[in-house]
A and B are shown apart, each in its own frame.
Chain A
Amino acid sequence: MAEGIDPLELMPVSRMARPLRALLRGWAGVVLGFLYLPIAFMVLFSFGESRTPGLPFRGPTLHWYQEMLSNGVLMEAVWTSIQLAAVATTLSTLIGTMAAFPLVRSGFRSAGAARIVFTLPIMLPGALIGIALLIFFRRALGVDLSFWTVVMGHIVFTMPFVVLIVSARLQGFDRNLEWAAADLGASPARAMRHVVLPLIAPAIVAGALISVTLSIDEFVITFFTVGPQSTLPTYIYTQIKFGVTPEVNAVATVLLLGTVLLLGLAWAAAGQARRLSRIFGRRRARERIG
């Protein structure tokens, strides 16, 4: 393994640049292989004949895909999970990003303490948070459990990741850019939209991605805060007595494919939009000048 890469060698000394680049590219390949190896097996098992996902492999068969499609409870659970991840991620990304600004910038004394408080939900076990929320929702607030209570449960542990990663990006952010924008007559809102947000966008996206990752497979907090629904994780993690079947491998494979397709489309669309906006932007600029 290439853990031996010396950070010192990462420097762009022109003589070394090419071999270094080759080395890093190789390393990236190794990393992606490491991440996709188990995925390959997971997909493979979805085509296996046996009821237990594992080796030795016998097949291939599409049997489990048929089973999956005719399993209404499972399909509904998948749909609930997707909605849950989407809503919880949107909210936690929004709320978390907003919170990062005062945390980093206000210089108010408690900012450091606040950041530690934000790491608390990450360090406490989900089981504890789940039980606490259940008791709180029912006894203190008296609300029925529903889709929204589980959304709130998910925000509690996904938002801290957004806050932390966006504040890291905001730290050392060159405020001069903003002030320059203001000087040039940009309203704070415009400065935010055209200067600040583009600069922190990668952190927001990264926060959202982490949020989806955590939300889509959370079991314990979900179990205690969910109303009369099943989610994909509650379906999967409760098959204790007889075990999961490759049906859920089939679901995972389809979801993976769907995600990849969707992201590919979004990526293509974004590229298209950028190209268009570049063209139109130029025209508009020209008009303004003219």
Chain B
Amino acid sequence: MVDPIPASHQPRARSNLTRGWPFLPAGVVLLVLFLLPMTVMVAFSLWRTNSDLDVVPDWTLDNYIYFFSEGTYVRTFLKTLIMAAAVTAAGIATALPFAYFLVRYVGQRWQRIVLLAVIVPFWTSYLLRAYAWQAILGEKGALNQFLMGIGLIDEPSRLFVYNDLSVWLVLLYVYFPFAALALYTALEKFDFNQLNAAQDLGARPDQAFRRILLPQIRPGVITACIFVFVPILGEFLTPTLVGGAQGALIANLIINFFRGLQYTTMAAFSFVIAGFVIVVLVIFRRYLRVEDVVARG
């Protein structure tokens, strides 16, 4: 990297660009429209719902205790974590080569077109696209007909849909654009001459990739992971639509309480999951701060 400009020259620019005020609107939104309303929900999570389906302010930890006392919830949460990890891994593995191709081999104007082509289909109702997936993967669906048409199978298979695999596939479909956009954003600013330079200096391709490219796109990779992993913890529509009887993820169980006006249980369960994610983020916060990694790289 270029030598930093002497410190004496810095403050002029810093004065305006690093001051805190631009954070203000976002801070207000976060505080007023999110944190304050959430305090009500924190209270809910410590109250109970009576048999008239009204929330009663009796302080209790029962809602939290229930999550851990019934094995279903912990098991389903673990399953959800595994599913989210599997989709995230697949999302990065599919989106990284895609974004790399886009940045490296496609002209800038076409890059934007392809990028839009990735996201625009997602501006239609997910329910309709999920119904399309049902029609593709179903027993009488397009995939089975295609495979039978080319003689690969004789009988229609029932294994393509209404199981964990189809949930994984459709989740990958749903979250791919998020991963692609985050990775594209990171790769787009990367100067590929650095790779050539590294190799000219004798680095093997894998070394150049690991030591030069990866550290610099790490913020984008982490962002991509967050964009895929975290929302999946709240996914209930995909498991419902293509998961069949065994497909439930933790959000399905939570949303069931919601439908039955059991807001207190819903709140407690949501906070258990959020709490878990926060703990994970705090433990790995070192990896969320990327400036030092770059400097060290």
A binds B: yes
Chain A residues in the interface with B (C-beta under 8 A): 2-3, 5, 7-13, 21, 24-25, 27-28, 31-32, 34-42, 45, 53-56, 94-96, 98-99, 101-103, 105-106, 108, 112, 114-129, 131-133, 135-136, 140, 152-153, 155-156, 159, 161, 163-165, 167-169, 171-172, 174-176, 178-183, 188-189, 191-192, 196, 199, 202-203, 206, 209-210, 212-213, 216-217, 232-233, 236-237, 244, 248-249, 252, 255-256, 259-260, 263, 267, 271
Taking a contact as CB atoms closer than 8 A, the residue among B5, B101, B127, B254 that contacts A24 in the complex is B101
User: With the chains together, A102 CA to B173 CA distance in Å?
Assistant: 34
Contact A131 B209 (CB under 8 A): no
Chain B residues near A118 (CB, 8 Å)?
Answer: 30
Beta-carbon nearest neighbor of A94 in chain B: B25
Main SS class of interface, B: helix
Beta-carbon nearest neighbor of B277 in chain A: A123
Task: List, sorted by A's number, 19 A–B pairs whose CB atoms are closer than 8 Å.
Answer: A2-B97, A8-B206, A11-B205, A11-B209, A24-B100, A35-B176, A95-B26, A99-B25, A102-B20, A120-B278, A125-B254, A127-B255, A159-B29, A169-B220, A171-B291, A199-B189, A206-B181, A209-B115, A213-B119
Given contacts A155-B29, A168-B219, A252-B128, contact A31 B120 (CB under 8 A): no
Q: Give the Cβ gap from A25 to chain B, nearest Cβ, in Å.
A: 6
Chain B residues near A102 (CB, 8 Å)?
Answer: 18-23
Contact A174 B2 (CB under 8 A): yes
Q: Give the Cβ gap from B103 to chain A, nearest Cβ, in Å.
A: 10
Beta-carbon nearest neighbor of A167 in chain B: B219
Instruction: Determine if B294 is an interface residue (Cβ-Cβ < 8 Å).
Output: yes
* 1/0 contact string of B201-218 vs chain A (CB within 8 Å): 000011011000000100
User: With the chains together, A168 CA to B182 CA distance in Å?
Assistant: 9
Given contacts A7-B96, A24-B105, contact A53 B131 (CB under 8 A): yes
Instruction: Determine if B36 is an interface residue (Cβ-Cβ < 8 Å).
Output: yes
Q: Select the stretch in B46-54, B65-73, B154-162, B229-237 that faces chain A.
A: B229-237
